[in-house]
Structure 1
């Protein structure tokens, strides 16, 4: 009988200082993974590492900085390889939302949304996929999209464009990554209770009324789905986007109505 234990997976997660990214990191640590977390705010990374260090069987290190920057992307890759020796998984979760009416939206905000959400995701995936190809052990990549890539949402045109592009990235890269044993998928969360959304005292009430399952998602709901798509249990799933919204996109009532 083969009693050799599998080595723990190493995963890079961006936008993990709080919210969905932080909860995905927590779930991966509970599963025994070795985790590199990133956030643009240094204080959030430091607090997250301190809290996550007490979780599960895995190990966690932090890397603060702009996840769309070439230098920060390279730093994350180097940290993972230096501390853990390999990269098995990546969650390209970092993104920004800049609200604005289409007729008044300015070029500066548009370009920043595309830089962070699209270019940041593209070049992180590229850097990690190159490592995975060299390792010749395959890998799993997960991108964070949004229900706004599927249904119209007022004042989020640029953001929705960026998220739709991310889903196409996951679909298109199947052809180039599958020969190397690398899977790539996306999740599209709907209304979710995070540190940001709960600053609105009406958020939970409104989205509980609009969501067929009767409540907005928790970050745990999203993290559980993310962990599944990253895992070997999803070994024959690639190029797909999983919508996690309690059924909202099936009926799509607007919060503004």
Structure 2
């Protein structure tokens, strides 16, 4: 569920566990996704005084070799994702890289949606 950076950085920069979860355009997330969000927030509060940050990344549709093979994938993405395209692996990795860097030293307890607007679309339905 969580990982931390393994590159040789300062001790403070290594303390950045990042969970990953997926999103879907529904009113409420399934219990497992909601559970990961709650766990992320709880752990963040628990370890913040020790200089540890805890965040989660929630990727939406991501283009992979498998999704490129699905004939209906591109048309469903264009219809279903506000940005009209899937995320690239690089875009998801860039978010994780940011959260595990010193630039995110004050970001904790957050779930960052890398989903082309799917989560925002779900919120606008309410």
Q: TM-score, normalised by structure 2?
A: 0.78
Q: Which runs of 5+ in 2 are unaligned?
A: none
Q: Which has the higher contact order (CA 8 A, sep 6+)?
A: 2
Report the alpha carbon displacement of residue 152 of structure 1 after superposing the two structures with TM: 5.2
Report the alpha carbon displacement of residue 216 of structure 1 after superposing the two structures with TM: 1.1
Higher strand share: 1
Higher CA-based Rg? 1
2:18 maps to what in 1?
142
Q: Within the alignment, does 1:151 sit opposite 2:21 as a pair?
A: no
The 8 Å contact of residues 60 and 115 in structure 2, kept in 1 or not, is answered as: yes
Report the alpha carbon displacement of residue 205 of structure 1 after superposing the two structures with TM: 2.2
Determine the C-alpha separation between the residues in 2 that align with 1:200 and 1:152: 26
Q: TM-score, normalised by structure 1?
A: 0.41
2:41 maps to what in 1?
171
Q: Within the alignment, does 1:239 sit opposite 2:109 as a pair?
A: yes
1:11 maps to what in 2?
5
Deviations 1:159-206 (A, max 9, x none): x32222111111011222112211000011111112333332211221
1:3 maps to what in 2?
none
Aligned equivalent of 2:56, options 174, 180, 186: 186
Secondary structure of the residue aligned to 1:188 is strand
Determine the C-alpha separation between the residues in 2 that align with 1:247 and 1:11: 27
Q: Which runs of 5+ in 1 are unaligned?
A: 1-9, 13-32, 35-86, 89-136, 253-257
2:93 maps to what in 1?
223
Query: Stretches of 4+ moved more than 3 A in 1?
Result: none
1:250 maps to what in 2?
120
Report the alpha carbon displacement of residue 223 of structure 1 after superposing the two structures with TM: 0.8
Tell me how many residue pairs correspond in the alignment. 117
Cα RMSD (Å) of the superposition?
Answer: 2.5
Secondary structure of the residue aligned to 1:171 is helix
Deviations 1:24-56 (A, max 9, x none): xxxxxxxxx36xxxxxxxxxxxxxxxxxxxxxx
